[in-house]
Structure 1
Amino acid sequence: MVLKVCVGSACHIKGSEQVIQILQKCIKEFHMEDKIVLKASFCLGKCTEAVSVTVDEGKQVFSLSPQNTADFFKNIIKKVI
């Protein structure tokens, strides 16, 4: 699985660095280093929303914040893998 997190200007201001750190922590906590590749990306087209994240090049763009990233990982990502 590939998770792409936008690090463009709007997402950076809205906390993309923290989102990446939380995702890294979750990946390590649940021992999924061999199952998930975390990548930075520039604009994913949802600049007016929170930090944009795609899963496996999917068409769905999730809008995350530092406050909801851990729940996203536990409720969405863990269930897919």
Structure 2
Amino acid sequence: MTELKICVGSACHLKGSTEVIEIFKNCVNNRQLSDKVEIKGAFCLGHCTEAVSVCLNDKIYSVNKESAEKFFDEFVMECVREL
């Protein structure tokens, strides 16, 4: 199972974490990956000055609603293929 953590702390919330989470949920559902990708909320991943912080395989990325689907296709799908 690939674990995708999205910061829902105040800074990331203001930068659109709710929208990013919805995009990721749609990606999981549309690609029928609910048995392979788990989306979790997290508080402060330590990158508050950047866009929404996302943790995938212990690495922190900055994602916004414009880049979320591309991030999913490039990074999350790579992890899924490795399962």
TM-score tier, shorter chain, comes to: over 0.9
Q: In the aligned structure 2, how far is the partner of 1:43 from the partner of 1:31?
A: 29
Which ranges in structure 1 are unaligned for 5 or more consecutive residues? none
Q: Could you tell me how far 1:64 is from its partner in structure 2?
A: 0.3
Q: In the aligned structure 1, how far is the partner of 2:41 from the partner of 2:79?
A: 21
Q: Could you tell me how far 1:54 is from its partner in structure 2?
A: 0.4
Specify the alignment match of 1:6 in structure 2.
Answer: 7
Number of equivalences: 79
Q: In the aligned structure 2, how far is the partner of 1:48 from the partner of 1:11?
A: 9
Specify the alignment match of 2:78 in structure 1.
Answer: 79
* 1:7-58 CA distance string (max 9 Å, x none): 00000000000000000000011110000110000000000000000013x1
Q: Calculate the TM-score normalised by the size of structure 2.
A: 0.92
Q: Calculate the TM-score normalised by the size of structure 1.
A: 0.94
Q: In the aligned structure 1, how far is the partner of 2:78 from the partner of 2:3?
A: 15
Q: Give RMSD over aligned pairs.
A: 0.7
Specify the alignment match of 2:67 in structure 1.
Answer: 68
Structure 1 segments of 4 or more deviating over 3 A?
none
Identity of aligned residues (%): 42
Which ranges in structure 2 are unaligned for 5 or more consecutive residues? none
